Amino acid sequence: MDNDKQFALVTGASSGIGLAFSIELAKLGYPLLLVSNEEEKIIQTAEEIQNKYNVKTISLFMDLAQTNSAQKLFDYCNDNKIKIIILINNAGIFFFRDIINTTPSLMETMINLHVTTPVMLCRLFAEQMFHENRKGYFLNVASISAWMMMPGISLYSSTKTFIRGFSRAMNREIRDWNCSITTVCPGAAATGLYNLPLRYTKLGIRLGIIIPVQRLAILALKKMFRRKAEFIPGGFVNRLFIFMVKSLPECMIRLIRKKIKTYNTIRGSRGGAELTECTEE
């Protein structure tokens, strides 16, 4: 494989899981196209990775929540003769909020980031790979919340359910011509996505409930290169968690919702970060 000509494209690459994917791909020698809506941070990230791992990196400031951003990103690659062999759809947003308290613009942002943009990117790059008779790897980041229809995350879990189902189905369509889509469904990862206090994050890692992002990236990329259809980090623990949440009675779900809202209120009154809104980037 001539990695000098075939790039890995990572969205949401300036921090968290996206940054971890970028670092692991750089260690493997892949040139990188790193995309984020944080302009200064993605430029700095690309420079640091290029200097440390001696691979070519290109930073691209782009808001993938905007309409037609997938086509713009695809056109950018073609205009600059960047051949994509690996596409990692990671960019996203999380918030804990009832739908009636969520603005239409914020809902549109989440739907575009989790559904519209990754679906269109998969379609555009897969078609190109097919016509050019090139192999390729796609990795779409879903979540174990795809099995959890819980209040407060109704839009988040629904969009992750969609991207999981879409990825599994499209994977079956493209496998015959040496392309594949791997869906990774993490539970809690050690990122700033949920605004957890550091002590809880460390405790979760020790208990195996929270996975460090670098380990998540290593394991997910291994599954991707083996063309596995789906990967749930945490194995038995997360599968058990999925089963337990799905089995909760409605009264318990309402109690959990009330406790989380109380926690948010207390954190906010103390000047702490509320568990409301945070981008994965």
> Could you tell me how far CA 54 lies from the centroid of its own chain?
25
How many separate domains does the chain show?
1
Domain that holds residue 200: 6-279
Provide the phi-psi class of 227: left if phi over 0, else alpha when psi is between -120 and 50, else beta.
Answer: left
Instruction: Tell me the whole-structure pTM to 2 decimals.
Output: 0.83
Helix axes 16-27, 39-53, angle to 10 degrees: 20
pLDDT in tens, 17-62: 999 999 999 999 999 999 999 999 999 999 999 999 999 999 999 9
Q: Is position 162 within any domain?
A: yes
Report the sign of the C-alpha dihedral through residues 122, 127, 130, 134, in that order: negative
Q: Are strands 83-89 and 57-61 parallel, antiparallel or unpaired?
A: unpaired
Stronger pLDDT, 279 or 155, i.e. the higher one: 155
Residue 156: CB atoms within 10 Å: 22
Q: Is position 1 within any domain?
A: no
- Is the pLDDT score of 244 beyond 90? no
CATH number of the CATH domain containing 179: 3.40.50.720
Residue 44 and residue 240: Cα distance in Å, rounded? 40
Of the candidates 274, 87, 46, 53, the one whose C-alpha atom is nearest the C-alpha of residue 179 is 87
Q: Is position 11 within any domain?
A: yes
pLDDT in tens, 265-278: 544 444 444 433 34
Residue 87 and residue 95: Cα distance in Å, rounded? 25
Q: Do residues 33 and 84 make contact, with C-beta atoms less than 8 angstroms apart?
A: yes
